[in-house]
Amino acid sequence: VIKCKAAVAWEAGKPLSIEEVEVAPPKAHEVRIKIIATAVCHTDAYTLSGADPEGCFPVILGHEGAGIVESVGEGVTKVKKGDTVIPLYIPQCGECKFCKNPKTNLCQKIRITQGKGVMPDGTSRFTCKGKQIYHFMGTSTFSEYTVVADISVAKIDAAAPLDKVCLLGCGISTGYGAAVNTAKVEPGSTCAVFGLGGVGLAVIMGCKIAGASRIIGIDINKDKYAKAKEFGATECISPQDSKKPIQEVLVEMTDGGVDYSFECIGNVGVMRAALEACHKGWGVSVIVGVAAAGQEISTRPFQLVTGRTWKGTAFGGWKSVDNVPKLVTEYMSKKIKVDEFVTHTLPFDKINEAFEQMHSGK
């Protein structure tokens, strides 16, 4: 058993608490990882807020991390002690019908137990002050050591800077893949990206790499426009600058609508606007943002009858074990940006400050 520091969420709506936790050794087909760096994501904040119906407490959150394998359980063959890895919240077992189907990346092998905050055998590897602590998204990267299933880990280039590539565990991969895998953006196309946070910037990067000729960034926070343009946005607009609905503004700006739109916020009203901003006959709108539980989307069916397509994406459609190492390689060869997504680097005990900076849009 390893004793180490972790940021524990004891209950919903309260700040994280830095505690000493005990991390049990990995059982069969499990991997214990020393986490070197972790990022914060709105999904962690969503569960911490208490709005997530799958949220269980006390829990160690975090799902964008990178580290070094400390030990492996019996039967583990794909990684060994000392390997550099990224934990994966969408695993890839290679055996379920989802893994065998090229149309999806949604491996279902450990979905039920992962959603309940436990390892595949139904138990936890974390304890603190004599209490069992739940796992989160199968990763729990807000701990100096964590235990994950062996199908939830990608071995990456040992030379990669872990304080940067941890972002490939969720946000950057999600946005980039939404553009290149889910939408399959084509050269010369016009794109609209709603929400210019980390995921939205990654979508812009993907649209640019795919050869889009016009990329319109949409956000009410104008402080984000300069960064969006650095990533490839050709122009940025705010929905608050016009009395007309934003979809009407976009349809006018683009002679009938955009070829591809992306919702990167998790707001069902914006999801509708993103679809309705698409061009009749061929426009494709991709939902990337995760809306709160119980919310529903609506539009007039005629929007779809007249040739628009509504799609969604999780982790950018990447089959995780196969593709995360390739994304790291693309970053190392400067094909994709990663460093530019990092705005602040804080010590672990300032994790609550990191969340404050995220909520404030900094």
291-326 pLDDT, tens digit per residue, is 988 999 999 999 999 999 999 999 999 999 999 999
User: Could you give the number of structural domains in the chain?
Assistant: 2
CA distance 286 to 266: 12
Given a cut of 90, whether residue 94 has pLDDT beyond it is yes
**What average pLDDT does range 192-213 have in this prediction?**
98
pLDDT value at residue 103 = 97
pLDDT value at residue 53 = 84
Q: 272 and 335 in one domain?
A: no
Q: 230 and 349 in one domain?
A: no
Q: 351 and 202 in one domain?
A: no
Q: Is 354 exposed, middle or buried (0-12, 13-18, 19+ CB in 10 A)?
A: buried
| Least confident stretch, 50-64, 68-82, 94-108, 157-171 | 50-64
Q: 289 and 160 in one domain?
A: no
Q: 66 and 114 in one domain?
A: yes
CA distance 265 to 74: 41
- For tokens 């946070």, name the residue: 197
pLDDT value at residue 264 = 98
**What average pLDDT does range 21-40 have in this prediction?**
98
**Residue range of the domain that includes 157:** 2-169+319-360
Q: 240 and 147 in one domain?
A: no
Amino acid at 127: T
CA distance 81 to 234: 46
Six-digit token string for 81:
């002690």
Convert the pLDDT of each residue in 110-150 to its tens digit.
Answer: 999 999 999 999 999 999 999 999 999 999 999 999 999 99
Question: Using 50, 70 and 90 to split pLDDT, how confident is the model at 85?
Answer: very high
Strand partners, 87: 153
Question: Using 50, 70 and 90 to split pLDDT, how confident is the model at 54?
Answer: confident
* Percent of the chain with pLDDT strictly greater than 70: 100
Strand partners, 143: 6
Q: 137 and 47 in one domain?
A: yes
Convert the pLDDT of each residue in 262-288 to its tens digit.
Answer: 999 999 999 999 999 999 999 999 999
Q: 6 and 151 in one domain?
A: yes
CA distance 231 to 355: 23
pLDDT value at residue 90 = 98
- CATH code, domain with 191: 3.40.50.720
Convert the pLDDT of each residue in 190-200 to its tens digit.
Answer: 999 999 999 99
Q: Is 36 exposed, middle or buried (0-12, 13-18, 19+ CB in 10 A)?
A: middle
Strand ranges inside the chain, DSSP E: 2-9, 17-23, 30-39, 59-60, 64-72, 84-87, 126-128, 131-133, 145-149, 153-155, 190-194, 214-218, 235-237, 260-263, 284-287, 309-312
Q: 88 and 9 in one domain?
A: yes
The contacts of residue 216 (CB under 8 Å, 6+ apart) are 190, 191, 192, 193, 233, 234, 235, 236, 237, 250, 253, 254, 258
CA distance 194 to 248: 14
Given a cut of 90, whether residue 345 has pLDDT beyond it is yes
Six-digit token string for 118:
């436990």
Judge contact between 144 and 233, C-beta under 8 A. no
